[in-house]
Amino acid sequence: MERYLSLSEFAVKANLSVNTLKSYDRKRMLPPYDALTGSTRGWKEATVNEWIRGRQPVPDGESLPR
C-alpha cells in the first residue's frame, strides 16, 4: 500500500512551517497532491522530494512572487 505524506509531514520534510506551505498552496507553488481522502490531501514521498530538489532558494531580503 502506498504511503502519502500529510501537509504537516510535508512541512517537516521540506524544513518549512505548515503556514508557509499553506501560503505556497494559495499561490499555487506546491506540487499537485497525489491522493485525496475526504478533504485531506496527501503527497507521495517522491513527489515531495522532487519538489524540494527543484526549489529555488530565495535570496535574503527578497520575497517570493505573489
Tell whether 64 is covered by a domain: no
User: Angle CA(66)–CA(36)–CA(54) in degrees, nearest 5?
Assistant: 45
Residue 28 lies in a domain: yes
Query: Does residue 35 form part of some domain?
Result: yes
- Residue 4, phi then psi, degrees to nearest 5: -120, 145
Which grid cell sits at 10? Answer: 510535508
Domains contained in the chain, number: 1
What is the span of the domain harbouring residue 41? 4-54
pLDDT tens digit string along 10-22? 999 999 999 999 9
Looking up residue 32, the CATH number of its domain turns out to be: 1.10.1660.10
Q: Is 38 exposed, middle or buried (0-12, 13-18, 19+ CB in 10 A)?
A: exposed
The pLDDT tens digits for 27-44 are: 999 999 999 999 999 999
